[in-house]
Amino acid sequence: MGHFQENIQLKDPVKGILCEKAMGRYFCNENELNSSWDHILCAFWQRYPNPFSAHVLTEDVLFRELTPDNCLLSRRLFTKTNLLPRWAERVFPSHLNKSVFIVEDSVVDPETHTLTTHTHNINHTRFMTVVERCVFQRDKERPSWTLISREAWISSGVFGLSRAIQKFGLSRFKSNQLKSMKGLVYALSKLHTESFPPRVHGDPPVQESPPPNTASTQKPQQYS
């Protein structure tokens, strides 16, 4: 595919392969960011709010533990707006105006330079369940790059409508995961600006990264 050979700068971070299987219930893609794993992890915890996260209403940490083998386990709870499609609002009036609660579990392994996340909704689950698994890993060949692989499973238990709901769920997931990547890149550039304000003895090679409000927010979507 050659998608790992492309020199993608921070300005144009979201590129990857896209695969869909099983009647729109499975999604996966791979991205790479020209940013170190350490920086990406710092940004990961601080990515909200950002200009692409209007649908994220609240964020909490519910659990955090350092294991004896130095892995950091975390559980976060998010509230997101529930944007049902119009047709579903008519079919499921009881779901109207209810937020979606989302749990994001994660394991940071500093030995293998891997962050694995597992995210899913814990209400509206009969209508639709979206489970996402994401792995952020330092590129072994290029340590200043990070590879991000994402998989999602979308299912619905609504008899007779599950295919339509899954189709809707997949399309919303695609647009949200793109927002999530853009939000992460925004958080990265914000952190970078905070840690390295422009100075004479700064780090010239990294000056490629845009200020928070420029290129990364205006790039056209790759797929949606």
Partner 1 sequence: MNSVGEGCTDLKREYDQCFNRWFAEKFLKGDRSGDPCTEMFKKYQHCVQKAIKEKDIPIDGVEFMGPNKDKPGG
Q: Do 60 and 66 contact (CB within 8 A), yes or no?
A: no
CA distances from 123 to 54, 88, 95, 180, 200 (A): 20, 16, 10, 21, 52
Question: In 3D, which of 40, 18, 11, 46 has the Cα closest to residue 174?
Answer: 18
- Confirm or reject binding of residue 67 to partner 1 (CB under 8 A): no
CB 213 within 8 A of CB 192: no
Number of Cβ within a 10 Å radius of residue 130: 23
CA gap 115, 117 in Å, rounded: 7
Q: Which of 11, 79, 217, 222 binds partner 1 (CB under 8 A)?
A: 79
96 binds partner 1, rule: CB under 8 A: no
Binding-site size, partner 1 (CB under 8 A): 41
Q: Using CB under 8 A, which residues numbered 125 to 144 contact partner 1?
A: 125-127, 129, 131
Does position 221 interact with partner 1 (CB under 8 A)? The reply is no
The residue range among 6-14, 116-124, 159-167, 181-189 that interacts with partner 1, by the rule CB under 8 A, is 116-124
CB of 223 to partner 1, least distance (A): 26
Q: Which stretch binds partner 1 (CB under 8 A): 37-45, 85-93, 170-178, 198-206?
A: 37-45
Q: At its nearest, how many Å lie between partner 1 and the CB of residue 173?
A: 15
The only residue of 3, 18, 20, 64 in contact with partner 1, by rule CB under 8 A: 64
Q: Which stretch binds partner 1 (CB under 8 A): 15-23, 27-35, 122-130, 206-214?
A: 122-130
DSSP letter (8 states) at residue 86: H
Q: What is the DSSP letter of 7?
A: -
Applying CB under 8 A, among 28, 91, 92, 107 the residue interacting with partner 1 is 107
Q: How many residues does the chain have?
A: 224
**Contact assessment for residue 51 and residue 186, using Cβ atoms and an 8 Å cutoff:** yes
Q: What is the CA radius of gyration of the chain?
A: 18
Q: Which residues bind partner 1 (CB under 8 A)?
A: 38, 41-42, 45-46, 48-49, 56-64, 66, 70, 72-73, 75, 77, 79, 101, 103, 105, 107-108, 110, 116, 118, 120, 122-127, 129, 131, 157
